[in-house]
């Protein structure tokens, strides 16, 4: 449990862990430089399983998470925020599942949202209320969900085998908003995980105070961190995993060579995804730019995808995630050129059976000036 300025909630959070009917645990609370009396209130509780660490300075939750994982001695690692509270029976149910499913490396649950005072907040009253109500799916389907829709796993409900961190490494401390999402993207490439339909956490909503609150700073940081993750999103994804999750979106789903696998990963970023589409397009441009530097990839791009340097030039001229001031007349001319493709993509999205090959071919016709 990383803790920071949660003196109002820390006792409830700690007691929700110590009261679990699975009692063979250690609870390590590490304070991340709180300016209130969080540490004093945590230390007021007496239990031999409780260890409170006072770091004295603020360094970020991911740093503290990594230190706590390194200190942990248990077979499994669970996470909880210092302003949340586990529901009764949460831990025993998860431990029993992982003990009986050795092929599953992690499991999660759903969340019950509560206000500062502890009153329930109806999910339908929150624009993100159903985000954690995920269903179980295959690893490939999970990778697709993460790619097209983002995170839907509730971090403070997680129970993970220690092997997860041994194999994947620590949380990326360069990320402030999305280190858990980055971990799940890495995890799904190696192992299955399970989602319980149970509400395992009383997830406290503190507008303007939660690390994920919809402030302008957090929103900008989320977009940029999503870009950092996207650049390596498909690293380590095998051909089998890509076919399992994206076969209907691949131009050559048979993936006959490693070069095809690399190229298909790049073209997936041209999906017309609301909100993050321009950023994904920048990732596609970067990947294709790098692939054209390889003679083997260049040959496959030319022969099987009708894509070369000039196609890259034209793609780079049409849309960007970066701010660009252009004269109104030039902007109007550019919009007029790509509007037909936008309409075609919109029509494809409206269809229940559209495939990526059609919009990609439309984009290629535009890029080649046809």
3-state secondary structure labels for all residues of the chain: CEECCCCCCHHHHHHHHHCCCCCCCCEEEEECCCCCCHHHHHHCCCCCCEEEEECCCCCCHHHHHHHHHHHCCCCEEECCCCCCEECCCHHHHHHHHHHHCCCEEEEEEEEEEECCCCCECCHHHCCCCCCCCCCCCCHHHHHHHHHHHCCCCCHHHCEEEHHHHHHHCCCCCCCCCCHHHHHHHHHHCCCEEEEEEEEEEEEECCCCCCCCCCCHHHHHHHHHHHHHHHHCCCCCCCHHHHHHHHHHHCCCCCCCCHHHHHHHHHHHCCCCCCCCHHHHHHHHHHHHHHHCCCHHHHHHHHHHHCCCHHHHHHHHHHCCCCCCCCCHHHHHHHHHHHHHHHHHHHHHHHCCCCCCHHHHHHHHHHHCCC
Residue 212: what pLDDT?
A: 64
Residue 203: what pLDDT?
A: 96
Alpha-carbon distance of 227 to 221, in angstroms, equals: 10
Residue 345: what pLDDT?
A: 47
pTM: 0.85
Exposure string for 18-56, b = 16+ CB within 10 A, e = fewer: eebeeeeeebbbbbbbbeeebbebbeeeeeeebebbbbe
Q: Does domain 2-219 have CATH number 3.30.930.10?
A: no
Residue 281: what pLDDT?
A: 94
Q: What is the pLDDT along the chain (370 residues), one digit of tens a residue?
A: 999 999 999 999 999 999 999 989 999 999 999 999 999 999 999 999 999 999 989 999 999 999 999 999 999 999 999 999 999 999 999 999 999 999 999 999 999 999 999 999 999 999 888 999 999 999 999 999 999 999 999 999 999 999 999 999 999 999 999 999 999 999 999 999 999 999 999 999 998 776 666 678 888 999 999 999 999 999 999 999 999 999 999 999 999 999 999 999 999 999 988 888 999 999 999 999 999 999 999 999 999 999 999 999 999 998 677 765 554 555 455 445 445 444 544 554 454 443 444 445 545 544 444 4
Residue 333: what pLDDT?
A: 52
CB 193, CB 108: distance < 8 Å? yes
CB 236, CB 342: distance < 8 Å? no
First-to-final CA distance of the chain: 58
Q: Which two tokens stand for residue 242?
A: 């890509």
Residue 48: what pLDDT?
A: 97
Residue 355: what pLDDT?
A: 45
Residue 274: what pLDDT?
A: 86
Residue 213: what pLDDT?
A: 66
Residues of the chain with CATH 3.90.550.10: 2-219
């Amino acid at each position: 449990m990383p803790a920071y300025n949660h003196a109002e909630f820390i006792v409830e959070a700690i007691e929700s862990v110590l009261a679990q009917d699975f009692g063979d645990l250690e609870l390590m609370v590490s304070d991340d430089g709180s300016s209130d009396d969080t540490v004093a209130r945590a230390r007021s509780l007496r239990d031999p399983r409780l260890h409170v660490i006072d770091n004295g300075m603020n360094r970020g939750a991911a740093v503290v998470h990594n230190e706590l994982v390194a200190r942990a001695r248990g077979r499994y690692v669970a996470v909880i925020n210092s302003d949340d509270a586990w529901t009764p029976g949460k831990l025993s149910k998860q431990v029993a599942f992982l003990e009986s499913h050795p092929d599953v490396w992690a499991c999660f649950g759903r969340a019950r949202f509560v206000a500062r005072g502890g009153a329930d907040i109806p999910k339908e009253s929150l624009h993100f209320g159903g985000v954690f109500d995920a269903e179980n799916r295959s690893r490939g389907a999970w990778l697709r969900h993460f790619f097209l829709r983002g995170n839907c796993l509730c971090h403070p409900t997680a129970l993970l085998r220690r092997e997860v961190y041994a194999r994947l490494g620590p949380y990326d401390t360069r990320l402030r908003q999305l280190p858990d999402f980055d971990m799940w993207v890495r995890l799904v490439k190696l192992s299955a995980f399970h989602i319980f339909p149970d509400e395992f956490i009383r997830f406290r909503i503190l507008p303007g105070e939660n690390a994920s609150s919809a402030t302008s700073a957090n929103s900008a940081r989320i977009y940029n961190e999503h870009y950092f993750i996207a650049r390596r999103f498909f690293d380590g994804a095998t051909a089998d995993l890509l076919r399992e999750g994206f076969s209907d979106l691949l131009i050559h789903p048979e993936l006959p060579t490693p070069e095809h696998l690399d190229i298909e990963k790049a073209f997936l970023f041209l999906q017309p995804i609301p909100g993050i589409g321009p950023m994904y397009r920048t990732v596609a441009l970067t990947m294709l730019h790098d692939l054209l530097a390889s003679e083997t990839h260049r040959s496959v791009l030319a022969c099987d995808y009708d894509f070369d340097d000039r196609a890259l030039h034209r793609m780079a001229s049409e849309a960007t995630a970066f701010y660009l001031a252009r004269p109104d007349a030039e902007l109007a001319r550019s919009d007029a050129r790509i509007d037909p493709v936008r309409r075609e993509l919109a029509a494809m999205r409206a269809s229940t059976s559209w495939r990526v090959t059609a919009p990609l071919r439309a984009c290629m016709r535009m890029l080649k000036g046809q």
